């Protein structure tokens, strides 16, 4: 697997990474009837490959959770140092973190959705993060969205103290962490100025493929 970044620098070696890859991708049927959404190709690489390339830590410090067609995820990552966390029943985002507390071992956690495509790596999300509060990557859409007019872009930072409070049961980070932190005035939002596409529909998948093709031709 090709990695195009320098990993494990002094700023990011205090993080573990988690790529969420357990969803069924039902809106992408029939593509996902036999292939898990993270393994759908965007140009030369799968969505999962692109997600792994974007993470600023060594492969041994990255976990991928899998549930739907999990054996394909495991086979795709066979031979790499990436840790695969198989969930017989999906645990959702917070449950996936709780299930990995032993592996995370007290570190802060960077979490990324496998099905998001970005035109560049958003280093601004973690470059000045203190590790005190949860932090989300967002874009202001100018209309009501996830957090005011800010749409969540599937990439976040989770302090170790918040990791330790999560359990291995079906639950979401939205309900368990982000909304409570927002009510306490402790949720940090970082604006992303580039192009981000949620590849959850056939239309958006096509947009991401076109954008990746244009990027590869640059």
Average pLDDT, the chain: 92
Q: What is the predicted pLDDT for the residue at 216?
A: 87
Alpha carbons 145 and 209: distance in angstroms, whole number? 25
Tokens 């357990």 label which residue? 22
Residue-wise pLDDT for 149-162, tens only, equals 999 999 999 999 99
Pairing of strands 108-113, 150-158: antiparallel
* Chain segment 80-129, per-residue pLDDT in tens: 999 999 999 999 999 999 999 999 999 999 999 999 999 999 999 999 99
- Please tell me the predicted confidence (pLDDT) of residue 11: 52
pLDDT digits (tens, 9 = 90+) for 41-56: 999 999 999 999 999 9
Peptide bond into 203 cis (omega under 30): no
Q: What is the pLDDT of residue 6?
A: 40
């Amino acid at each position: 697997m090709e990695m195009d970044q320098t990993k494990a620098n002094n700023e990011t070696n205090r993080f573990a990474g988690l790529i969420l890859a357990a969803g069924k991708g039902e809106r992408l049927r029939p593509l996902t009837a036999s292939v898990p959404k993270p393994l759908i190709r965007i140009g030369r690489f799968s969505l999962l490959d692109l997600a792994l390339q974007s993470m600023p830590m060594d492969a041994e410090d990255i976990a991928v959770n899998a549930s739907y067609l999990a054996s394909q995820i495991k086979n795709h990552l066979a031979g790499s140092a990436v840790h695969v966390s198989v969930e017989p029943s999906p645990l959702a985002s917070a449950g996936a973190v709780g299930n990995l507390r032993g592996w995370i071992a007290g570190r802060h956690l960077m979490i990324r959705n496998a099905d998001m495509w970005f035109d560049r790596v958003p280093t601004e999300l973690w470059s000045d993060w203190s590790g005190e509060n949860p932090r989300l990557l967002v874009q202001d859409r100018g209309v009501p969205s996830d957090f005011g007019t800010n749409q969540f872009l599937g990439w976040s930072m989770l302090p170790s103290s918040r990791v330790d409070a999560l359990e291995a049961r079906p639950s979401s980070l939205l309900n368990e962490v982000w909304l409570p932190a927002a009510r306490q005035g402790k949720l940090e939002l970082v604006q992303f100025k580039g192009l981000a596409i949620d590849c959850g529909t056939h239309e958006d998948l096509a947009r991401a493929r076109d954008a990746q093709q244009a990027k590869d031709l640059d």
